Amino acid sequence: MIRPFEGDTAIFITPGYRFRGIDGLMTNFHLPRSTLFMLVSALMGLERMQAAYAHAIATDYRFYSYGDGSLLLPERAA
């Protein structure tokens, strides 16, 4: 069970992190090699995000704060 929490943490989410209690994430396309890209790569998988970003670059998506949005839905664990 996940309980409410308020306070500081020392969590730095990188690929391999096991999320609890998240079904998806709506966000924009973050700059490659940023900490925010590491976060979405942890949720979706690095290879999947690299493929998505390659598509975004090839089709002129806009990045960063005023860029295009995305709805990220991770694959369900079997």
Model-wide pTM > 0.85: no
**46 lies in some domain:** yes
Q: Is residue 38 part of a domain?
A: yes
The answer to the question of residue 7 being in a domain is no
Which pLDDT tens digit goes with each residue over 3-52? 888 999 898 999 999 888 889 999 999 888 899 999 999 999 999 999 99
Comparing CA positions, the residue from 68, 60, 76, 75 lying closest to residue 26 is 68
- At residue 61, the pLDDT reads 92
Range in 42-51, 59-68, 69-78 the model is least confident about: 69-78
Q: Report whether 45 contacts 15 (CB < 8 A).
A: yes
- Number of structural domains, the chain? 1
Per-residue model confidence (pLDDT) at position 78: 47
Range of the domain at 67: 26-72
